[in-house]
Structure 1
């Protein structure tokens, strides 16, 4: 890559690395894995930098990185060893959930978000944390707007179930 292209990539990386890392964390729920996914997305971006059309527009690059990031998280969640959860003891009963009188704390929300299937989690993160509309989310994920709407609905239902009955204010935005 020539020097000007390297400089362009470095500027984009410096400007967006924290946002991409945060999005990755919200998708996977673990800071260490989020770092890995963000790194994988930026490595892929660097590798394809010269071939990306419209790279002078930050929105094009953001969409490219989001799509790469989402694919990385979803692919990793499909690996068999990610489905196993080891605990030191088997509990006799399910642990009681305390959502603080119906208000989910950040930790409670992130934990509940981890229980949502990865594709639905990606849609929820892009829609509600990255504040993308249905069309932009569909473009980022490479699917139809109807798929985004149904995944949003199913994801919010799964999130409500994970948070318990006290959470009634999670409604899909039109």
Structure 2
């Protein structure tokens, strides 16, 4: 079973879906033109546009949607759906970068919530720690390495790693 379904796949009313990620959206799903996409412009990711296209209410969308983004301004319209993440910079040492493990921990925590916006608004993510992300990886048999592996994506694409 793939963790990522096709764009605008139907959402079930099941509050605890079997897969962790039901839908992955890209910039194109927010109606960015090709010139906007290739320019260094400020964008606001209005999740209500996506929810409307999917035929779900803003209330339902806010309960079940998390926007991972490095720019707080991009999430200004739905700030309680925003899970802030730092930009990925491969040249930096990953041995001291705990943000990915904290993000994993936060996503695992949010996967058990029936209303992620309310949980985020109430400060539920303030105590997220990298150790919990490391534990989640270990339980899923995902190796945590210190260092950037430029060949990793090619191996995954060839089916050498899951």
Which interval holds the TM-score relative to the shorter structure?
under 0.3
TM-score (norm 2): 0.26
Larger relative contact order (Cα-Cα within 8 Å, sequence gap ≥ 6): 1
Higher helix residue share: 1
Report which of the two structures shows the higher radius of gyration computed on alpha carbons: 1
TM score, norm. by length of structure 1: 0.25
